[in-house]
Amino acid sequence: MSEPTTASLHTENAGSAGSSATGISVAPQTTETKGFFPPRKVILTKEQLEAFQQSKTHETIVSYINTLNECVVGVKLTDELAVSPEVQAVLNILDRVAETAQGIPPVDNKASRFGNPAFRTFYDKVNELAPELHRTIPGLPEDAIPEISVYFGEAWGNRTRIDYGSGMELNFLCWMICMERLGVFKESDHVALVVKVFWRYIEVMRVLQSTYWLEPAGSHGVWGLDDYHFLPFLWGAAQLRGHKYIRPKSIHDSDTVEEFSKHYMYLACIRFINSVKTASLRWHSPMLDDISAVKTWDKVNSGLIKMYLAEVLGKLPVMQHFLFGSILAWDGPLPAAPAGAPGPDDAHWGHAHAMGGDLGGVGQRENGWGDCCGIPVPSAFAAKEAEERKRGPGVPLAGPGIRPVPFD
């Protein structure tokens, strides 16, 4: 698979950084116009991916990203915001998810540097609680809960592989889109959806990643931004557009990162990376290092939007996991599963794996699932723990106690 480039970050766009490519609004959907059903995977081939890229659902996702992007220009995470009852209910749900993780500690797994099996217990518990949690959201139709709960449940990571990547982050975005389509979220909630709801989701994910050592999905993480996430960089760059003093190159200044990470998602993500990896960004995060050479946050922001379209919404290894239901619908022909494909109970159900004697471009037979699910890669947290063991007893891995580790 080809690696992404940052060329688009160094060129002017035809339009402004956050202007919607489609101009499409996320129109509310009523229960009278559609019957709800649990979403399922559909995309299996390059042709189906291309059909998706021309679809209404793709336009809806891109429009929503751009709309929220424009809403947070110049907004700080620490700004005082009015929070609607609906947004507050969702924040309470995210707090319940965090509490659930605190109640399910990792099991003793010293023999392995890979994902901790206790994550599966957490995953099952969250899915068990999901209907009850969704019933606390004002105005959410009861019969929509089984459909949107799937996006919610899949936003925390993969149960079987114990990994996490940009596809799971996309599930959370789709969950928010569904809530807006159902009339739960309003336009007046948009700023809070990014700097309160989405950022609280990222905070919870950091807890899960450090507690259960979630592996970066697909070996590549999210194509070089960090091991797990993309959207906090995209919307974080929007926050910094027009800032008088902070420039893209400021990510290399530790004092700036430390002082302003509480205000801006982009810098908070850089601070997180620095907390678990040592050495220069150019060694362990070359894409971020390249981006830091861009002159303005406007160009960074517009370039990241282009990159998201190409490297997340435009990549089969990510989008073959995308879930289509009645709200975010598939409007193309349903695919026929190839002979020998995994069944619906298999962790690789719906994946575009090579079948039979076809090894694919990366040779799946020898290398596991290749660029689809990736060769298992231990998390940076697991690598840190291994380094501690080599040196003898040290500080146990925990959120505030995370120390820098050599990149490996």
User: Is pLDDT above 60 for 401?
Assistant: no
How far from the centroid of its chain's Cα atoms is residue 19's Cα? 22
Q: Does position 390 have pLDDT exceeding 70, yes or no?
A: no
pLDDT at residue 340, as a whole number: 60
Which one has a higher pLDDT value, 104 or 29? 104
How large is the average pLDDT for residues 238-254?
A: 95
Q: Is 390 helix (H, G, I), strand (E, B) or coil?
A: helix
pLDDT at 341 exceeding the cut of 90? no
**In this predicted structure, what is the pLDDT of residue 335?**
61
pLDDT confidence of 396, banded at 50, 70, 90?
Answer: very low
**Percent of the chain surpassing pLDDT 90:** 59
Phi, psi (degrees; rounded to nearest 5) at 141? -60, 135
Q: What is the pLDDT of residue 245?
A: 95
Lowest mean pLDDT among 47-51, 151-155, 202-206, 271-275: 271-275
Cβ count within 10 A of residue 102: 11
Q: pLDDT tens digit string along 292-325?
A: 999 999 999 999 999 999 999 999 999 999 999 9
**Region 3-23 average pLDDT:** 42
Report the amino acid identity of residue 5: T
CA 358/CA 366 separation, integer angstroms: 12
d(CA 44, CA 64): 25
Each residue of 212-237: pLDDT tens digit?
A: 988 888 644 444 577 789 999 999 99
pLDDT on residue 355: 36
Nearest to 216 by CA among 169, 151, 283, 265: 169
Average pLDDT over residues 282-301: 89
Give pTM, 2 decimals.
0.79
Which pLDDT band holds residue 115 (cuts at 50, 70, 90)? Answer: confident
85, 35, 65: which is closest to 172 by C-alpha? 65
265, 198 Cβ separation under 8 angstroms: no
Q: What is the pLDDT of residue 236?
A: 97
Alpha carbon distance 257, 269 (integer Å):
9
